[in-house]
Structure 1
Amino acid sequence: MIIEVDMYESIRQLYVHERKSQRAIAKQLGISRTTVKKYCDGSQVPWDRIGTSGRKPYVVTEQIMDFIKSCLEEDTVENIHKQKHTARRIYDRLVDEEGFTGGESTIRQVVSEMRQKPAKAFVPLSYEPGEAVQIDWGEATIYLKGKKSKVNLFCMRQCYSADVFVKAFHRQNEESFLEGNVAGFEHFGGVPSKVIFDNARVAVKEGFGTHAKVQERYKIICSLCI
């Protein structure tokens, strides 16, 4: 059985950190013990064959999310109960007006989550050692070989100790972001439980919140860090 990186990460988490048996992992994740045995020790990885079938899961894009938001905002402005958009009506409009090709159940889930009252935000003021790091980009102007140049600074800051790791790159792209993460973890001598991004565009390819789709190479690095 070929699994996705998310499943691989779950298997490794349960086996390495939670010390669960292969039988317990298979039961919890609903997969065969053979699959668990194949991937639990990290000697085999699934991503070498990911994408060979050419099939891709449908992603709820920002354009689709904005369309759904506009429908719900329209209902708020009009405030006519009998004319409010149902999830089915929003789905039909997406198909007709936006060429949406995903399933109606996907839109029902998104609409349901959007209609729920947002939870109160909680920002912790203190952290345990190794609990979290914050990542952000900055810029600096330097003289490189006698020429004035602008460089991009990858900054990783320990939330507990406030210790900072900084590395300069020519560009703020995915390769630099991933290299910066690995270099930062090596500098601090380990991987934190949480990584907090100021701007997650290089880690997330589409969507946001519960619908965010993580970049494959970032997902692979996460699974290797377990």
Structure 2
Amino acid sequence: MLKVPQQQYIKFLYENEDYSISEIAKVMGVNWRTAKKYATKDNWNEPMYRRKKRHPVLGPYLDIIDTWLTEEQALPRKQRYTAKRIFDRLCDEYGFEGGRRTVEEYVAKRRKELKLERAESYEHLEHPGGEAQVDFGTAYVGQPGKLVERKVLTMSFPFSNAAFVFPVRKENTECFLEAMKRIFERIGGVPKKIWFDNLSAAVISIDRDGKRTFTDQFLRFAAHYRFNPEFCNANSGHEKGHVENKVGYGRRNWLVPPPVCDTDTELETYLAQMAESDMDRPHYAKKERIADLWEAERKKLLTMPAVPFEVYRLEPA
């Protein structure tokens, strides 16, 4: 959080020097939203906060409950805790002697707070951990006596800067979903939210009001793996700029000159190894190793379903 003199200087630049929000963000070295927050702030009264209620009986167990409530977010809804189950575990495993009603009230209150925290995190320009962006790129590969074209699906994670890739022959719905499925299986989880452009493998059409019609198979796939799909505005691929950069980075560093892979399986193995070894470098901004950031981020992924999604196309013949 910026100190008060910095906040006031942002306001001064905006009101008296006619700086734009973007110029202020650049001069101050802050996020655009931070610059806008203080540049347009009208109420500078010091906020008054309610004193938090103490929990004399439940206090020693709050961290345990919070941990359980956080961990359950990665599970399907029907497998999450009930307040009674939390109460029973506290009694059985930790010797809790308080009342069940005390636990139920705290669980209900804490769940609302966690929901608000998640909603607020989605308003930031930066992606919170556990979110991904997806896009296709084109690659040329050497195979016996010829140069063949392959499509490479890249799934990037802006928080850690990790990326995973899978090659397919076309950009149709079946190849698109199979590639995502294989990446989910490789990373051992599913991103909570995935950003796409309006690729035809998922979007049939976009109405004038922006409403999209999706392929049935994509909708079933998203429901099966429980991720929340987000789509860029039309002709606005820059809205998922992280994966756009990753597609170009992978092409320049892993596919120039074209690798020689006799089979698609060899290409798949080659690209997986290149993506994995690439994580052994520092993050461009956080200066921590990408692999370490990814290990922390992967804990925020949704759990895999017990039954994998079957990707196929059924046609009359």
Normalized against structure 1, the TM-score is what?
Answer: 0.44
